[in-house]
Amino acid sequence: MAVPQLPLLWRSILVLYAALCTTSTAAAETSQTPLSQAGYKVGQTIPVSCLNRTTDTGEHITDASGELLYTPFPICNETGKPLELIFGVEKDINCTIDFVDDPFFHLLEFYVHNDAPLTCRIPTKPLPPSPSKEEFEKGTTDLTEGQGSLSDVYTPMVVALAGTLQLSHLHVSTSLNVLVHAAPKSVAPGTIAAATAYSISREPPTRIVIGDSLPLRFSVRWYPNTSLPSGWTGVGGHLTFSTLVYCLISAGASAAICLAYFRGVELPRRLKSHGKDRVGGIERGGGLGGYGISNGYYGPGKRD
Ligand SMILES: *[C@@H]1O[C@H](CO)[C@@H](O)[C@H](O)[C@H]1NC(C)=O
Ligand SMILES: *[C@@H]1O[C@H](CO)[C@@H](O)[C@H](O)[C@H]1NC(C)=O
Ligand SMILES: *[C@@H]1O[C@H](CO)[C@@H](O)[C@H](O)[C@H]1NC(C)=O
Ligand SMILES: *[C@@H]1O[C@H](CO)[C@@H](O)[C@H](O)[C@H]1NC(C)=O
């Protein structure tokens, strides 16, 4: 009786839950409760913005109130949008900056020559939707807190762009790794804990002059907590799960071979020496190999 009612119960719970969800999000949108408290969902996009710098000295630019000015990452030709990371999704992102203009070329010179880093940042949690931007400008939200590099609204992501400065052009290592750590789910779900990006200098650099495109290739990896996994499994590596499994399997295999030997070779031999009247099929049991083993399988049965 109760069994057919169960799906109905579940369905009504689901409907109730869905209704609650829609009303609460609607309420959030209208009353502007701090949505920033909610974490990222897997697959949600994360905008990258970078510190604006002057092209003559590479110094950072501040606004009237002395706050560092961040601007969206340059637009990628592939997407038509500034660079975006995707929460919890490991992928290669191509971001070709279509046209390296004169100011941007000078900035690249600063980055590559280590006069100034390409300092970017990503929101630690999703930013509130645009209506609160007015509040942000009025300075009434938390967003104005923490003006240094350690605000908890944003997580810094310094892009260590490598390259060499030539007389007329630049060599830039455009293949980059991006590592992003999320805070453990049990502590703060959907929250970014740390991020970094760096050029792979081993790969052949791209030659850049003013007017070229800059083909950036980002390889993004995500970590579910703030500790880096061990990536080196050679000498000096740690005992890994696969090593453990290998040990267990080989232990099991040796035990099986011992058992087979005992049943196929040792046991028939002992039985043979015990009584000549039970010779039956045991004569064949003397052979080694698979034949002996299959014979030995029937061996113990003869004792009954
Ligand atoms: C960076 O700041 C300069 C000077 O204030 C401004 O002209 C430029 O448009 C800014 N860059 C971006 C990408 O907004
Ligand atoms: C960027 O996109 C535009 C238009 O989609 C295209 O004309 C241009 O060749 C592209 N540039 C590169 C470097 O792919
Ligand atoms: C990115 O560009 C490289 C060539 O530079 C290409 O081989 C690769 O398939 C592209 N990856 C994606 C995800 O578009
Ligand atoms: C961090 O995550 C890894 C999985 O990538 C896990 O093996 C490790 O035990 C975690 N470390 C801590 C301290 O939770």
Residue nearest to atom 10 of ligand 1 (CA): 52
- Return the sign of the alpha-carbon dihedral for residues 250, 253, 259, 261: negative
Number of domains observed in the structure of the chain:
2
DSSP 248-265: HHHHHHHHHHHHHHIIII
Find out whether the beta carbon of 52 lies less than 6 Å from any atom of ligand 1: yes
Which tens digit of pLDDT belongs to each residue from 94-152? 999 999 999 999 999 999 999 999 999 999 999 887 554 455 454 444 444 445 555 68
204 with 110, same domain? yes
Residues 131 and 266 reside in one and the same domain: no
Q: Indicate if ligand 2 lies below 6 Å from the C-beta of 213.
A: yes
Question: 136 and 163, same structural domain?
Answer: yes
- Judged by its nearest atom, the ligand closest to the C-alpha of residue 193 is 4
Query: Which of these, 262, 268, 271, lies nearest to 284 by C-alpha position?
Result: 268
Domain finish residue from 169, 193, 223: 223
**Which atom, in ligand 2's list, is nearest to the CA of 77?**
1
pLDDT of res. 128: 83
Residue 51 has pLDDT above 60, yes or no: yes
| 144/260 same-domain check | no
| pLDDT given for residue 36 in this prediction | 47
Which residue range(s) make up the domain with 280? 241-290
Tell whether the model's pLDDT for residue 282 goes beyond 50. Answer: no
Tell whether ligand 3 has an atom less than 6 A from the beta carbon of residue 92: yes
Q: From 238, 136, 280, 127, select the one nearest 192 (Cα to Cα).
A: 127
Task: Report which ligand 2 atom has the smallest distance to the Cα of 213.
Answer: 13
Q: Considering only CA atoms, which residue is closest to atom 11 of ligand 1?
A: 52
pLDDT at 159 over 60: yes
Atom of ligand 3 nearest to the CA of 94: 1
If asked whether residues 88 and 146 sit together in one domain, one would say yes
The 10 Å CB-count burial string (b at 16+, else e) for 244-280 is: eeeeeeeeeeeeeeeebeebbbebbeebeeeeeeeee
Are 140 and 258 contained in the same domain?
no
pLDDT in tens, 212-263: 999 999 999 999 999 999 888 776 555 666 666 665 767 777 777 757 776 7
Task: Please check whether residues 181 and 268 belong to one and the same domain.
Answer: no
Residues contacting 171, CB < 8 A, separation 6+: 112, 163, 164, 205, 206, 207, 208
